[in-house]
Structure 1
Amino acid sequence: MLIVNLQHPYENQIFQMTNDLLPDAFLQQMKRLLSEEELQLFLQALDQKARVSIRLNPEKLKEVPYEAKPLPWCPWAFVLRERPVFTMDPFFHSGAYYVQEASSNFLWQVLHQIAIPASSLALDLCAAPGGKTTLISSFLGDEGLVVANEVIKGRSKILKENVIKWGAANVVLTQNDPSHFSDLAGAFDVVLVDAPCSGEGLFRKDPNAIREWSAENVMICQGRQQRILRQAAELPRPGGYLIYSTCTYNRQENEENVRYLVENFGYEKVSLSLPDQWNIIRSEVLVGKESYPSYRFYPHQVDGEGLFMTILRRPGSEDSAAQVRRSRDFNHPHLSRFSINKKQEAKFPSLSFPFDIKLYRYEHHIFALNAAWAPVFEMLASKLNVQYFGVELGDWVKEKFLPAHAWALSMYPISAYPSVEISEEDAIMYLKKEPITLSIRDKGWVLVKHKGLNLGWVKNLGMRSNNYYPKEWRIRMQ
């Protein structure tokens, strides 16, 4: 319950929440951002339950599986009437949808309005846990390529899991500090910096964010963001775009960083056309004589949490392909090109991709990548710490092929192995890595499906089968 003690003048009003006391410095900040009436509505919204939204994987699911209403700024996103138990939903584990906060899906609208070509090279510089990476991946489709970077090892692991579940072949995962991208200046058509921030926009979802907030931490976050932006500002090609976003409200981490980019790197403004009924607030920051727009989301105005997003264009016009050095040689300490000779063909599965692929080998792991992006990938791999890319097909050990879970979850057809449909009850057992009985006689590798969506592999031995669902991903809920 929210307790509001209204006193006059307005600056002396006191707001309290029963579970956590909002810092006075935060309240003073919000008074400068919102009118008296808006502030009361904002604080009331913080005391309400956060809405839950999902974004469909358009290559795996066409209809939302729950009671929901569409989100206006993204055609794949829906606000759910109530939160289901996602852990017990096989669709969730198959990558059929991503549980993503509603405001964050605004990125689709941005990409749509600035008309990013499907063949673009994109960079998500602070990518974990992967919501915006998978959105960009779906927006570009098989023609484009997304470099998803996460410097923190623990966060990189969940990013990899979410990208694998999404199932696209157009993502390259890297684990690098932003400074490591200095050799790639001008290489990208669009760069997203969803910067680490003070998290004010997540207060009602994460009480720890309230306890950890301080005015000093805001300044620390701004300094960290500007260090990231100094590197990121050099990465879009001339005529390319830099998208900057946070999940916080204060101007220091938002509009003042827009000012920093414009004053130091000469970026140009980009304006979007948005319907008034979306209740997205257009914010302006004056730099010289020019006003630069940004877009703010507040929980009392939208079915989502706090978000800030701005779009800037790098001056000039140049094809990004001219910025990427291509080489016929590929000498990497861990990765190598891979091919199957005629003698090995019978032991290697047939592949069904809707585009020409290039195969690579890392130790005994075999990966497939769109051949059109192979030269760019090889250049990226020579400069960055690549953690995952394309689709991992499986392991090639002593001329025997063992299919990978990532291939099962990919959005591309698999004709080399038999498949079997299983019930929801069996699907949950499979996802718990428990043994299941198959209704198929074929021995060997079998692709397990539920309602047409791939879940993973089992090895059928006749009277029993071995469950090859990844142990670290298994459902632990009873």
Structure 2
Amino acid sequence: MSEASHKLPVAFQRHIEDYLGASESQELFKALEQDPQTSIRINPSKRKLESLPGQQVPWAKSGYFLESRPSFTLDPLFHAGAYYVQESSSMFISHILESIQAPKGIYLDLCAAPGGKSTLLSSYLGQDGLLVANEVIKSRANILKENVIKWGLGNTVVTNNDPSHFEGLEGFFDLLVIDAPCSGEGMFRKDLQARDEWSPEHVEICAARQERILNDTGALVAAGGYLLYSTCTFNAKENEENLRYLSEEFAFEPVRIPVQPEWGIVETEVEVEGSVFYGYRFYPHKVKGEGFFITVLKRPEDAYVHPVKKQKDFRHPFLSRSGQKNRVLELLGLEDNFEFYELKGSIFLIDSWYAPHFEQLTKYLNVKYFGVELGKISGSGKGGDRSNNEQFLPTHEFALSILEKKGFSTLELSKEQALSYLRKEDFDLPTSEEGWLLITFQSLPLGWVKNMGNRINNYYPKDWRIRMR
């Protein structure tokens, strides 16, 4: 698999041999030259599987191994958010959440792009919690936003902030996931470039960066909440030593996660001040997945909890509470359990119970997206006078959400037609009905078209369109 220019670094091999021994290290090196295993995680809010797509991932009920890697780009279900292509080792978070019975509330995925862990957390929370999915790099935050929109649950706030910006939110989150930027040793067979970039000095730089992130955010977890720290690397400097740092610098209690011997996951231990803390290592020669490390810590029950109260007046430079709530409820037939906000004339919705938490977050964070962007009301006339021309202009985000689209007709397409739609190409519309039509494939929404009678307007986002043939 690897080319001569992408050989495993000699210093890396020596380190692994020191850690695993000569015999087992050779097994790992051999595994790193094999093709990676493709796996997906089903979106349970969108797809009920009548037949299993492959072998189930042992530690993730919604995860499946595929026999081969298909062209996901040419699968309309992928664009509809029916599943997420995720490395199986990182799906272990699903098992952790169920094992600790993580309380549903306010979660933070600190280093979230491209969105694998965020969509997993979103599904776990359902409508019983709010997820903040943060990414420090702006371009990657846009990718994260797109994947959150496709997932469609409407329980996520996408932010673009440095970890230090969260300082004012101590004790705010019930669960914090830190999948820290790392040296990428565990991805050596998926990302050959990572081999070329690796060096002992790079490991030191990554470890120092991780320690800074942990120092900035370790106190964000509320009393009784959990912190999950993970990397996709093998060395102890970025893994167990950072676990030790967390344990020494912050008040956390150890959490042990049950694992089955046949899973091949290696449990490690770190003793800190008389307590044993646990880490979980995934090696490609032992599991059907890539290299991964994760540890789970619990905040003591007597720790700080950030107080959150509903604000009488919500003030923000760009965002405001919408005065069109009743009209939106009437037009779309939604239940009255949402708060509505306006940004640049577009109306967003978020569940009422965590609206105060959302408003608190906006004081500190750069919000890229939140809840579900529904669309705009046009033709309302001056002074709020409703004319016969008043209509709701829906967004692509609304189309992909799991919200019911009352009052809109649907149009089911074949795979060939769906791909033409996703490419923004012209195709024959199999209906004469005019107006807004919700395009679906296998009953899952893909987006909107508007039949004008003499022409068809395709509202699939230009930046999202398929270019592959």
TM band (smaller chain): over 0.9
Q: CA deviation at 1:169?
A: 1.0
Measured in 1, the distance between the counterparts of 2:4 and 2:289 equals: 22
Which amino acid in the other structure matches residue 34 of structure 2?
Answer: Q
| Segment of structure 1 superposing worse, 179-188 or 282-291 | 282-291
Q: Secondary structure at the match of 2:49?
A: coil
The 5-angstrom pairing of residues 249-268 of structure 1 reads 249-268=234-253
Q: What is the aligned partner in structure 2 of residue 146 from structure 1? A: 131
Q: Which residue of 346, 352, 360 corresponds with 1:365?
A: 346
Q: 1:179 to 1:250 in 2, by over 3 A?
A: same
Which amino acid in the other structure matches residue 85 of structure 1?
Answer: S
Q: What is the aligned partner in structure 2 of residue 380 from structure 1? A: 361
The 5-angstrom pairing of residues 4-15 of structure 1 reads none
1:296-328: CA deviations, max 9, x gaps? 0011111100000000111224695x6324322
Q: CA deviation at 1:201?
A: 0.5
Q: CA deviation at 1:61?
A: 0.9
Measured in 2, the distance between the counterparts of 1:65 and 1:153 equals: 39
1:166-199: CA deviations, max 9, x gaps? 0011001111111111110001101000000000
Q: 1:319 to 1:265 in 2, by over 3 A?
A: closer
Q: Is the 8 A contact 1:436 1:465 kept in 2?
A: no
The 5-angstrom pairing of residues 181-220 of structure 1 reads 181-220=166-205
1:242-276: CA deviations, max 9, x gaps? 10000000111000000101111132110011110
Q: Is the 8 A contact 2:53 2:64 kept in 1?
A: no
Q: Which residue of 420, 424, 431 corresponds with 1:440?
A: 431
Measured in 1, the distance between the counterparts of 2:221 and 2:152 equals: 26
Q: Secondary structure at the match of 1:272?
A: coil
Measured in 2, the distance between the counterparts of 1:251 and 1:430 equals: 49
Whether 2:334 is the aligned partner of 1:352: answer: yes
What value does the CA root-mean-square deviation take over the aligned residues?
Answer: 1.9
1:31-62: CA deviations, max 9, x gaps? 12213221111111011000000000001112
Q: What is the aligned partner in structure 2 of residue 36 from structure 1? A: 22
The 5-angstrom pairing of residues 292-371 of structure 1 reads 292-317=277-302, 320=305, 323-340=307-324, 349-352=331-334, 356-371=337-352
Q: Secondary structure at the match of 1:225?
A: helix
Measured in 2, the distance between the counterparts of 1:138 and 1:437 equals: 36
Whether 2:59 is the aligned partner of 1:73: answer: yes
Measured in 2, the distance between the counterparts of 1:318 and 1:292 equals: 19
Measured in 2, the distance between the counterparts of 1:201 and 1:316 equals: 35
Measured in 1, the distance between the counterparts of 2:149 and 2:325 equals: 28
Q: What is the aligned partner in structure 2 of residue 174 from structure 1? A: 159
The 5-angstrom pairing of residues 57-96 of structure 1 reads 57-63=43-49, 67-96=53-82
Which amino acid in the other structure matches residue 69 of structure 2?
Answer: R
Q: Is the 8 A contact 1:125 1:192 kept in 2?
A: yes
Q: Is the 8 A contact 1:169 1:391 kept in 2?
A: yes
Q: Is the 8 A contact 1:165 1:409 kept in 2?
A: yes
Measured in 2, the distance between the counterparts of 1:53 and 1:328 equals: 47
Measured in 2, the distance between the counterparts of 1:338 and 1:223 equals: 44
Q: Is the 8 A contact 1:364 1:397 kept in 2?
A: no
Whether 2:121 is the aligned partner of 1:136: answer: yes
Q: Which residue of 7, 31, 53 corresponds with 1:45?
A: 31
Q: Which residue of 360, 369, 376 corresponds with 1:395?
A: 376
Q: Is the 8 A contact 2:410 2:438 kept in 1?
A: yes
Q: Is the 8 A contact 1:393 1:404 kept in 2?
A: yes
Which amino acid in the other structure matches residue 307 of structure 2?
Answer: Q
Whether 2:217 is the aligned partner of 1:226: answer: no
Q: CA deviation at 1:280?
A: 0.3
| Segment of structure 1 superposing worse, 368-377 or 92-101 | 368-377
| Segment of structure 1 superposing worse, 148-157 or 34-43 | 34-43
Whether 2:437 is the aligned partner of 1:471: answer: no
Q: Is the 8 A contact 1:193 1:232 kept in 2?
A: no
% same residue: 49
Whether 2:40 is the aligned partner of 1:54: answer: yes
Q: Is the 8 A contact 2:171 2:304 kept in 1?
A: no
Q: What is the aligned partner in structure 1 of residue 264 from structure 2? A: 279
Q: Secondary structure at the match of 2:331?
A: coil
Measured in 2, the distance between the counterparts of 1:429 and 1:264 equals: 55
Q: Is the 8 A contact 2:170 2:304 kept in 1?
A: no
Measured in 1, the distance between the counterparts of 2:67 and 2:131 equals: 32
Q: 1:341 to 1:330 in 2, by over 3 A?
A: closer
1:366-420: CA deviations, max 9, x gaps? 1010011111111111221111000010134553532100100001211121111
Q: CA deviation at 1:93?
A: 0.2
Q: Secondary structure at the match of 2:281?
A: strand
Q: What is the aligned partner in structure 1 of residue 387 from structure 2? A: none
Measured in 2, the distance between the counterparts of 1:365 and 1:24 equals: 55
Q: CA deviation at 1:18?
A: 4.3
Measured in 1, the distance between the counterparts of 2:219 and 2:304 equals: 15
Q: CA deviation at 1:25?
A: 1.4
Q: What is the aligned partner in structure 2 of residue 238 from structure 1? A: 223
Q: Secondary structure at the match of 1:163?
A: helix
Measured in 1, the distance between the counterparts of 2:11 and 2:300 equals: 38
Measured in 2, the distance between the counterparts of 1:410 and 1:124 equals: 21
Which amino acid in the other structure matches residue 113 of structure 1?
Answer: S
Q: CA deviation at 1:289?
A: 2.6
Q: 1:406 to 1:104 in 2, by over 3 A?
A: same
The 5-angstrom pairing of residues 149-168 of structure 1 reads 149-168=134-153
Q: 1:313 to 1:391 in 2, by over 3 A?
A: same
Q: CA deviation at 1:442?
A: 2.3
Q: 1:71 to 1:372 in 2, by over 3 A?
A: same
Measured in 2, the distance between the counterparts of 1:138 and 1:413 equals: 18
Q: 1:67 to 1:363 in 2, by over 3 A?
A: closer
Q: CA deviation at 1:339?
A: 2.9
Unaligned runs of 5+ in 2: 381-390
